[in-house]
Amino acid sequence: MIPPLNLRVLAFFDVRFQSSGPLWQALGGGDPWARALDAYPARRHHSPLLQPGKALGRYDLADAAGAGRVVAVARATGIGGFVLDCHRLEGGYLTGAECLDAWCDDDFGLAFRWTPAPVDDPASDAAALMAAIAGFSPLLADGRQVLVVNEPYTMPDPAGTVALLRQAAAAAGLGGLYLIATAAEVRGGLLDAGFDALLDPSPAQWRSCKPAELLNGYTFLQAEAGHADGGMFDDTIMSYAQFVNSRMVDRPSRGKVFPRVVLDFADWPDHPQGGATLLASTSSVLYRRFLAGAMVHVAQHFPEAERLVFIDSWNHWRQRSQIEPTTQFGSTVLDETANGIRQGGYVALTRVGQPTPGRSPGVDYDAIAALCREIEEELSAFP
């Protein structure tokens, strides 16, 4: 199901789950699933990593049928495209997009995420980046290829970098870039530097609410005595309900910032010595409301050609943020994602306005309006 009002829900996607190909070779080969799932909790408050469910299993994206199944499940859920990382390697970039491109079209496209880094020749680096993302089924916003720029504040000259990227895109025949910077609010001059929009950072990049439990001297003494987990002093643990509210409350005041919807997050496998970010007491039902509320916000506050909502990940298993089916919970989260997209689309349709007559023949708008009235109460927590 594609939501109405030209609104796309995208998911960040890890394309490294493949057993052959240029990207697999460049990253050293081996078993990508073992690398993703080989971590075990060392502290009491670390939840174990989940395991892939039978619906998709440990797929191999180098196998065309395996890649096709992944895209088919995403399409059936209502996802409108994937966002792939640009991996900087010696001599250029690799994205792994060739594994998915055969299954993409105008209704399901590919966007890309790039993390800037110091280089000797920025112009050549920009040209190499454009060469890596050109030639695939593009995911467009305002008629231009979507490129997310991660950690934009690390760039010494954002305006200069934006200009280089746009020049390189024109030279590569991309027809323009829709540049999205990862930043929480319209400050710091990123839009003035030439970015088209911003995107909520990940939970680790932007801790948008206070920790769920503020540790005190008594807790410290408990940890010293071995009666509490001392690792809680090193990690940041946020209540999922407070996190969701902090991300959605008063969104219009933050300006042109796309929502990033997060199901769960726990990056302890990459922080064995402490410093991890974790969400506690997560809820698939609250996640569905988060997703639906984000869609309504975008429909109300963004131009029709620029309506995007981002899900933190389709398959980032190492951070527990994936929405793919799992052995432990089956397809519960995937079902809630589909329900959230359906509900958000219907509510947005009534709040923003129905499509022009004849645009969606056969749609019973009276039934949709009745359904919207039923679910309005579920979304009442969000402005």
Provide, rounded to the nearest whole percent, the portion of the chain with pLDDT above 90. Answer: 68
The C-alpha angle 48, 51, 52, rounded to 5 degrees, equals 155
What's the mean pLDDT in 134-163? 95
Beta bridge partners of 89: 92
pLDDT reported for residue 374: 59
What's the mean pLDDT in 233-250? 88
Distance from first CA to last CA of the chain, Å, rounded? 25
What's the mean pLDDT in 249-276? 90
| Cα torsion through 256, 341, 53, 265, rounded to 10 | 30
Return the amino acid letter for 13.
F
pLDDT tens-digit map of 62-76: 999 999 999 999 999
Confidence of residue 294 (pLDDT cuts 50, 70, 90): very high
Q: Is the pTM of this model over 0.85?
A: yes
Cα of 324 vs its chain's centroid, Å: 13
> Is a pLDDT exceeding 80 seen at residue 351?
no
What's the longest Cα–Cα distance across the chain?
71
pLDDT tens-digit map of 196-239: 999 999 999 887 777 765 555 556 566 556 665 555 667 888 99
Residue 360 carries which DSSP code? S
Give which of 128, 131, 129, 196 is closest to 158, Cα–Cα.
196
pLDDT reported for residue 375: 55
What is the C-alpha to C-alpha distance for residues 314 and 325, in angstroms, rounded to an integer?
10
Confidence of residue 355 (pLDDT cuts 50, 70, 90): very low
What is the C-alpha to C-alpha distance for residues 42 and 274, in angstroms, rounded to an integer?
10
Radius of gyration of the chain (CA): 21
What's the mean pLDDT in 318-343? 94
Give which of 68, 40, 83 is closest to 314, Cα–Cα.
83
Q: Lowest-confidence range among 172-186, 230-244, 266-280?
A: 230-244
| Average pLDDT value for the chain | 87
Q: Decide: 190 and 221 in contact? Cβ < 8 Å.
A: no
CA distances from 237 to 49, 80, 192, 211, 319 (A): 17, 31, 34, 5, 14
What share of residues in the chain are helix, strand, coil (percent, to 5)? 40, 15, 45
Beta bridge partners of 279: 238
Q: Decide: 86 and 149 in contact? Cβ < 8 Å.
A: no
